Amino acid sequence: MLPYPLLSLSLLIMWLALNGFTFGQLIVGGIVSVVASWAMASMRPSKPRLRGWYLLPKLVWIVLYDIVRSNAAVVWILLGGHREKRHSGFVAIPLELRDPTGLAVLAVIITSTPGTAWMEYNSGGGTVLIHVFDLVDEDGWVDLIKNRYEKLLVEIFE
């Protein structure tokens, strides 16, 4: 009946928060959250294990800080307009992270940080191809992704 009780509960709470706490919305939200959890179960996702959940606030803080910083950096480049000197390019990064949830979080981090974009992940070799807007030092980017984000994600999810 309820394959993902936590998911259903949080969906129901979200539904009520968005639509108002009335009895009618409780019924509709209840139906929606149960059906959604069935849909989720039919996709057979891997069960994420949050081994190092206490590290999540640290990760969120690092990511928020980096988003603000790289927003400023990209605005600076766009305003400065020295397009001739700037060089953008691809960087292939070998990853140790294999957990699907961890990889999804890494994709969100890399994409939501302006200046870097997640292109494609090769699950055979475990490498990810990213595109960097202002590419000065390729090894620097590999080092940044691996040490700043991946290390934390491995600790959290594996």
Binding site for another protein (CB under 8 A): 14, 17-18, 67-68, 71, 74-75, 78-79, 83, 88, 90, 92, 104, 107-108, 110-120, 122-125, 127, 129, 131, 133
Q: Which residue in 118, 4, 105 sits closest to 62, CA to CA?
A: 105
Cβ 147 to another protein, closest distance in Å? 22
Q: Which residue in 47, 61, 46, 55 sits closest to 155, CA to CA?
A: 55
**Residue 1 or 39: which CB sits closer to another protein?**
39
Cβ 73 to another protein, closest distance in Å? 11
Half-sphere exposure of 94 (CA within 13 A, CB side): 2
Cβ 1 to another protein, closest distance in Å? 26
**Residue 1 or 42: which CB sits closer to another protein?**
42
Q: Which residue in 140, 45, 151, 143 sits closest to 106, CA to CA?
A: 151
CB 116 within 8 A of CB 107: no
